[in-house]
Amino acid sequence: MRILSRTEVEQLLDLHELLAALEEGFKALSANQLNVPPRNQVTAPKGILLGMPAYMPNQHMSVKLVTVFHENHRLDLPGHQAVIVLFDSGTGKPIALTDGEYITAMRTAGGAILSVRLLARGDIKSIAIVGAGVQAEAHMKMIGTLVGIEEICVASRDLSRAQAIASLDSRARAVDSVQQAVQAADALCLCTSSPEPVIRGEWLKPGVHISSVGYRPPGGELPRDVIEMGHLFVESKSAFQPAPVGSAELQGLSPDLGTEIGEVLLGQKPGRRSDAEMTIYKSMGHAMEDLVAANWVFQKAITQRVGMTIDL
């Protein structure tokens, strides 16, 4: 069994390669080629443990175990911590244990930035990031894969943390308010753990693209009225199911309102239909994303002889 640390995962996970792997995964998901049971949850007094297994043809089976403890910042610990285990799909043998925290951060941000590439107007120059935690940092790294971005605004309740995120890219600057960050943005990335909406519809310019990756049931960062104003895209229709499978912000809406990213990539349904249309990508995080990312890292680890191997 190969053990891969966070440092080794960071070394192996190329961002452009990750985006390509996610594209293929979204296509396979919408083509009903995956076996992904509903995400399950165990609740503890201060947080939750989620289990996310998945199988995809020509890939090793995976299961991610991830904890969500929103108050961990008081202990200087990440709010999300995770490991991913791979099993040989032919024999069931456990073959890899990887750090899942970095993969979770980057595959989540990768899906959001893929949505920008796929759904935003072709001439966008400015992006706003709302939030200043792990996901904000991951989004900042992923924005580096986009072409033509000239300005990045970062807003958070903690200005010093926003400034720290902005320091990661010479095009970025921290601003005092969320409204200031988003009102001129061509695309905006919501990546908070807020239990209530962090933007308002009247702040948004026509034709904006919004991605939202926050997860804080029973509430969330994305306002219902904004969702109803826009053209909605999801990873899978399971996003409309109750938590922990689906999104709190989408409860009560018909799954027919959501287009899967894979359906757009396969040419089955349209993406953006006009420059004036607001497009919205609401991510729940899907086990497919962990599977393709972990498999890619594992194959590169074998080729480059990275990681420690042990006998169980």
Distance CA 18, CA 158 (A): 30
Contacts of 297 (CB under 8 A, 6+ apart): 4, 9, 12, 13, 98, 103
CB atoms within 10 A of CB 123: 9
Question: Burial, 148: exposed, middle or buried (Cβ in 10 Å; 0-12, 13-18, 19+)?
Answer: exposed
pLDDT for res 68: 92
Long-range contacts of 82-86 (CB under 8 A, 24+ apart): 84/290, 84/294, 86/60, 86/61, 86/62, 86/294, 86/295, 86/298
Whether a cis peptide bond, with omega within 30° of 0, leads into 195 is no
What is the mean predicted confidence (pLDDT) over 101-110? 97
Percent of the chain clearing pLDDT 90 (strictly above)? 96
Between strands 2-4 and 308-309, the pairing is antiparallel
pLDDT for 312 = 84
- The predicted model gives 296-312 an average pLDDT of 96
Distance CA 215, CA 93 (A): 33
Q: Domains plus CATH for the chain?
A: 2-103+288-309 (3.30.1780.10), 121-285 (3.40.50.720)
Reading across the β-sheet that carries 2-4, which strands appear in turn? 40-44, 47-54, 61-68, 80-87, 94-99, 2-4, 308-309
The span from the CA of 114 to the CA of 130, in Å, is 18
- The runs of H, that is alpha helices, within 99-256 are 101-119, 134-143, 159-166, 178-182, 224-229
pLDDT exceeds cutoff 90 at 37: yes
Q: What is the pTM of this model?
A: 0.95
pLDDT digit string, tens, across residues 223-279: 999 999 999 999 999 999 998 999 999 999 999 999 999 999 999 999 999 999 999
DSSP H or E stretch at residue 59: none
List helix spans (H) across 92-209. 101-119, 134-143, 159-166, 178-182
Structure confidence at residue 73 as a pLDDT band (50, 70, 90)? confident
- Comparing C-alpha atoms, which of 83, 75, 3, 2 is closest to residue 49? 83
Task: Return the percentage of the chain with pLDDT > 70, whole number.
Answer: 100
- For the cut 90, the answer to whether the pLDDT of residue 70 exceeds it is no
Mean pLDDT of 112-133: 97
pLDDT value, residue 196: 96
* Mean pLDDT of all residues in 185-206: 96
pLDDT (average), residues 12-17: 96
Tell me what the mean pLDDT of segment 305-309 comes to: 97
Q: Which two tokens mark 152?
A: 């990045």
Given a cut of 90, whether residue 182 has pLDDT beyond it is yes
Mean pLDDT of 14-24: 97
20 within 8 A of 292, measured Cβ to Cβ: no
Contact 141, 160 (CB under 8 A): no
pLDDT number for residue 194: 95
Instruction: For residue 273, give both structure tokens.
Output: 């239909």
Cβ neighbors of 201 (< 8 A, separation 6 or more) are: 223, 225, 226, 229
